[in-house]
């Protein structure tokens, strides 16, 4: 099996892994623990279901590893047609996304130490959960999705300009681009008359859109057919 097909399968696996991570992140709400930002609520959940965080951590470690393979395979696929500096820059962003997913996985696997600290002193446990939540869901997780979106848009632009990738796939990079555009919300440069609720929906919808785009790119590499130069 050629390296492009291996890389394509790795991208498909990373896309599916990302969807699995999202599903595992929604498990608490499905079990009746609605406010996962509340340390008290979430610690009760983790005492009953610590395996879910462990599963999420394992999934994210595998996602990080497969994304690394996929990013490097994509670079090899495009190398002959693209300016080296541009390609290296985009590749670095893709590897950053993989590193952040890896960090997210490692932190999620730290649920047992967190519960141990909580058993010593509940206040320590709540403080530890706040730190974990800010560094995972609001830190590494957000950073990983943003870096993945930037990589996807970069590859889409390169593929469009060089025709190294199908134009339809490159056009679909609009979905990851939405994640980047909505970052301007917290900067305070959007007028007060803009419905931020709609912006939030777009922000959230762009997450599965980015992951789906990565899986579709993997499908292109698996086929192993380059578009004419």
Q: What is the DSSP string of 26-37?
A: THHHHTT---TT
Average pLDDT over residues 188-213: 69
Identify the residue with better confidence: 158 or 202: 158
The answer as to whether 189 is a domain residue is yes
The answer as to whether 116 is a domain residue is yes
pLDDT digits (tens, 9 = 90+) for 19-76: 999 899 889 988 888 888 889 999 999 999 999 999 999 999 999 999 999 999 999 9
Alpha carbons within 13 A on the beta-carbon side of 9: 5
pLDDT, position 36:
80
- How many Cβ atoms sit within 10 Å of the Cβ of residue 115? 17
- Which domain does 110 fall in, by range? 3-223
How many domains are contained in the chain?
1
The answer as to whether 228 is a domain residue is no
CB of 128 closer than 8 Å to CB of 114: yes
The answer as to whether 69 is a domain residue is yes
Tokens of 154: 């970069």
Give the least confident one: 34-38, 67-71, 102-106, 191-195: 191-195
Indicate if the pLDDT at residue 194 is higher than 90.
Answer: no
pLDDT, position 229:
53
CA–CA distance, 186 with 194 (Å, rounded to integer): 13
Task: Indicate the pLDDT class of residue 223, thresholds 50, 70 and 90.
Answer: confident
The answer as to whether 94 is a domain residue is yes
């Amino acid at each position: 099996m050629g390296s492009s097909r291996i890389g394509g399968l790795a991208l498909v696996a990373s896309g599916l892994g990302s969807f699995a991570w999202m599903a595992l992140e929604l498990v608490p709400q499905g079990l009746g623990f609605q406010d996962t930002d509340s340390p008290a609520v979430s610690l009760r959940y983790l005492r009953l279901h610590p395996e879910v965080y462990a599963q999420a951590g394992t999934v994210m470690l595998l996602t990080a590893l497969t994304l690394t393979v996929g990013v490097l395979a994509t670079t090899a696929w495009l190398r002959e047609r693209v300016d080296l500096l541009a390609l290296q820059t985009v590749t670095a962003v893709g590897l950053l996304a993989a590193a952040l997913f890896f960090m997210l996985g490692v932190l999620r696997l730290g649920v047992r130490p967190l519960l141990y600290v909580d058993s010593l002193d509940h206040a320590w446990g709540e403080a530890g959960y706040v730190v974990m939540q800010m560094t995972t869901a609001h830190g590494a997780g957000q950073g990983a999705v943003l870096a993945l979106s930037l990589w996807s848009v970069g590859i889409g632009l390169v593929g469009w300009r060089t025709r190294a990738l199908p134009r339809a796939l490159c056009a679909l990079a609009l979905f990851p681009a939405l994640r980047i555009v909505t970052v301007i919300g917290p900067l305070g440069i959007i007028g007060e008359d803009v419905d931020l609720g709609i912006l939030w929906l777009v922000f959230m919808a762009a997450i599965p859109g980015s992951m789906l785009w990565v899986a579709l790119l993997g499908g292109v590499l698996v086929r192993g057919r380059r578009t004419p130069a």
